[in-house]
Structure 1
Amino acid sequence: MKNLRSLMTGLSLIALGISAAHAAITPPLGNEDPRVRVVPYQKMNVTELHTFFGVSTHIALDKGEQVQDIACGDSAAWDIVARGNNLFLKPRAQHADTNLTIITNRRTYNFELIVLPFPANSTSAWRDKHLIYSLSFLYPNDTVREQNALLAAQAQAAAREQAEKEQRAHAQKIKDELKSVKTGVVNTDYWAAGNASITPIRAYDNGQFTYLTFGPHSPMPSVYALSRDDRESLLNTNVEGNTIVVQRLAHRLVLRFGKRVVCIENRGYSTAGAVPQTGTISPAVQRVIVKGNNDE
């Protein structure tokens, strides 16, 4: 008998443990108003929802969630309306306890709907703290994902800022190198033909750089060197005000802006000032060869 009683006691404890493990979660009373509740979302648990006959309850799901399916154990006893990530419930009967399953595009929710007995002749029943007027959820996993996304965005922003900083430093280095070049004899023997809107009002060189000055309302064109076999190569330039500083000398230049074209000939051209390593005066600047025309 003793062994039998021990066995029965053990089974009872196991049964109690199973019952406790599967007990529905009652959302805690709200801080501001006890009838407005917030509960952590747990996929494997059931959430209790208490209401009165004739009372409407609002359930707010996560932003971006869309209700796809609703299954109610006693659908005839409940009015259920879904709008976006919001649901509105109201019992049609006084005895309408049942279960409710909601499936969205992201999660599954299980509820135990309980209709409390309405206190007869009570004028304060609507203030009963056991009612749930509104219920929303906390999503811990989403919080972690949002934090990770924020950290990733911050890292990307920092990387962009660093890249921009390095680009600015490189551009400044080139600009400083250009300013440090000693001015030589000025050659102004330049001749131009083409679209007047992108024709420089002054063109000259100092034996190392070519300077093209434009009117105040003129667009700044791209500058190409034209080889003996009529191949164009895009030149590195530096803009100072309304003057384009070409970082080398060339016998013939082509200016392009969209479909507008200007050809410039340097009739005082001499190769004495050229630097052969990169085709430019600065070792930080590389020459780019462009095959064919670049009309827009």
Structure 2
Amino acid sequence: MMKKLFIATCLLLPGLVYSAATPLPSGFDARMQTVSYNGANTTVIRSKTGFLTSVVFDEGEAVISAKAGFPAGWEITTDDNVVYINPRPVVQEQEGNEGEKLKKIFQPTEKEWDTNLFVRTTKRIYSLDLILLSEEKQAQPAYVVQFRYPSEIAKKNAEEVRLAKEKQKKLRQKKLISESFEKADAPKNWNYYMRVNEKYDSRRIAPDFAYDNGIFTFLGFNSGKVFPAPFAVRDGQEQTLAFNVETKGKYKIMVIHNVNDKFVLRYGNSVVGVVNKTFGKVLTDQRNTSSPAVERVEVNND
């Protein structure tokens, strides 16, 4: 039984090894064909004497070289992302009986003209089988063979889906932030103060106001201020923060996506510390909050 299985497998192997991709005809004209690109496979191109076959590659892909195994019998030319294939007679010079030069012409013949073509482009490599069809046969040659790239299309579609999801996420995030602005009954804590390093002109990155609603922290900057990068201070370490920017009147408002007891704002050497004096306390009435004017303490770090 094992011997029979081994023999059957051996008989199948040649078919597997030499399997090539055959372009599919269009639904309108069988001579207009398409084939999916597979870098590990060879594509069959069927041509005929007196006919030109065009092989079209991807947009933005330029042919660098195209080499045939039987260059004397095939005219191969290129233009941008297209390779033109045309079988041609072979002309051979011979010496006559009296020493004269004679030219013998060998017309393209089926099977004898079959060869391969290797194409290298700016994006990929292609292995092609050039098959010559007999003039006597009714089989039609390929006029155009257009390569398709399903893996590239799948990758592009996946990227479009990812970008769409990212856009939806940003829209939801923006909506959530807008709703947090507009919630009249949301508790607001204005009890913040700042430590401003008087060196390096740190006042230019100091917010004009700061508050939170228990979910987000809002830092407002007038148009004359430089917009800094925010960091949270946790366990003595600075951590980067996610934030959005809203424009309200003359202010650009940095909306930090959490509430913390300490923030650090940085721009170059300029640094400002923002401290939430009511962090961890529950505010149920906006009238119990302190003034929106942010207390500032200037620090000289010599």
Residue-by-residue CA offset, 1:82-112 (whole Å, 9 max, x unaligned): 2332222112232432100112233221111
Whose radius of gyration is greater, 1 or 2? 1
- SS of equivalent residue, structure 2 residue 50: coil
User: Equivalences for 1:251-266 in 2 at 5 Å?
Assistant: none
Residue 201 of structure 1 corresponds to none
Which structure carries more strand by proportion?
2
Between 1:74-83 and 1:148-157, the stretch displaced more is 74-83
Cα separation, partners in 2 of 1:34 and 1:129, compared to 1, 3 Å:
farther
Structure 1 residues 223 and 279, CA gap change in structure 2 (3 angstroms): farther
User: Following TM superposition, by how much is the alpha carbon of 1:288 offset from its aligned partner in structure 2, in angstroms?
Assistant: 9.8
Give RMSD over aligned pairs. Answer: 4.0
1:51 to 47, 53, 61: 47
1:106 to 2:106 alignment: no
Aligned to 2:151: 141
What residue in structure 2 maps to residue 97 of structure 1?
Answer: 114
CA distance in 2, matches of 1:278, 1:56: 84
Aligned to 1:157: 167
Q: Distance in 1 between matches of 2:247 and 2:19?
A: 75
For residues 275-286 of structure 1, the aligned pairs below 5 Å read 279-280=291-292
User: How many angstroms apart in 2 are the aligned matches of 1:39 and 1:168?
Assistant: 51
Percent identity for Structure 1 against Structure 2: 22
In structure 1, how many angstroms separate the alpha carbons of the residues matched to 2:67 and 2:295?
A: 67
Q: Using the TM superposition, give the Cα deviation of residue 20 of structure 1 relative to its aligned residue in structure 2, in angstroms.
A: 0.9
Q: Which runs of 4+ in 1 moved over 6 A?
A: 9-12, 275-278
CA deviations over 1:253-274 (Å, ceiling 9, x no partner): xxxxxxxxxxxxxxxxxxxxxx
Q: Distance in 2 between matches of 1:99 and 1:113?
A: 5
In 2, Cα distance between equivalents of 1:43 and 1:237: 52
SS at 1:50 equivalent: strand
Residues 1:164 and 1:13: Cα distance change in structure 2 (over 3 Å): same
What is the CA–CA distance in structure 1 between the aligned matches of 2:292 and 2:66, rounded to whole Å? 72
Tell me if 1:166 matches 2:166: no
Superposed displacement of residue 170, structure 1: 4.0
Specify every segment of 5 or more residues in structure 1 that has no aligned partner in the other structure, as ranges.
1-5, 120-124, 178-220, 225-235, 246-274, 282-286, 292-296
SS in 2 for 1:159: helix
Match of 2:68 in 1: 72
Q: Which amino acid aligns with 1:149?
A: E
Aligned equivalents of 1:171, 1:14: Cα separation in 2: 72
Distance 1:142 1:288, change over 3 A: farther
User: 2:172 is matched by which residue type in structure 1?
Assistant: Q
Q: 2-side partners of 1:118 and 1:62: how far apart? A: 31
Q: In the alignment, which residue of structure 1 is the partner of 2:11?
A: 16
**Distance across 1 between alignment mates of 2:45 and 2:58:** 18
How far did residue 157 of structure 1 move?
0.9
Sort the Cα spacing of 1:83 and 1:277 in 2 relative to 1 into closer, same or farther, 3 A: farther
Aligned residues: 187
Is the contact made by 1:43 and 1:109 (CA closer than 8 Å) also made in structure 2?
Answer: yes
1:27 aligns with one of 23, 28, 33 = 23
Residue in 2 that maps onto 1:42: 38
Task: Sort the Cα spacing of 1:79 and 1:223 in 2 relative to 1 into closer, same or farther, 3 A.
Answer: closer
Deviations 1:111-165 (A, max 9, x none): 111121223xxxxx8xx55311111233232232122111111111112212332
CA distance in 2, matches of 1:160, 1:288: 33
Q: Which amino acid aligns with 2:292?
A: T
**1: CA distance, partners of 2:176 / 2:121:** 47
Q: 1:55 to 1:15 in 2, by over 3 A?
A: farther
> Helix, strand or coil for the counterpart of 1:147?
helix
SS of equivalent to 2:165: helix
Query: Relative contact order (C-alpha < 8 Å, sep 6+): which is higher?
Result: 2
Aligned pair in 2 of structure 1 residues 171, 103: CA closer, same or farther (>3 Å)?
same
Question: Is 1:118 the counterpart of 2:135 in the alignment?
Answer: yes
Q: Which amino acid aligns with 1:97?
A: D
Contact 2:133 2:139 in 1 (8 A): no
Q: Aligned in 2, Cα 1:288/1:136: closer, same or farther, shift over 3 Å?
A: farther
1:67, 1:84 within 8 Å by CA — same for their partners in 2? yes
TM-score by length of 2: 0.50
Structure 2 residue matching 1:155: 3-state secondary structure: helix
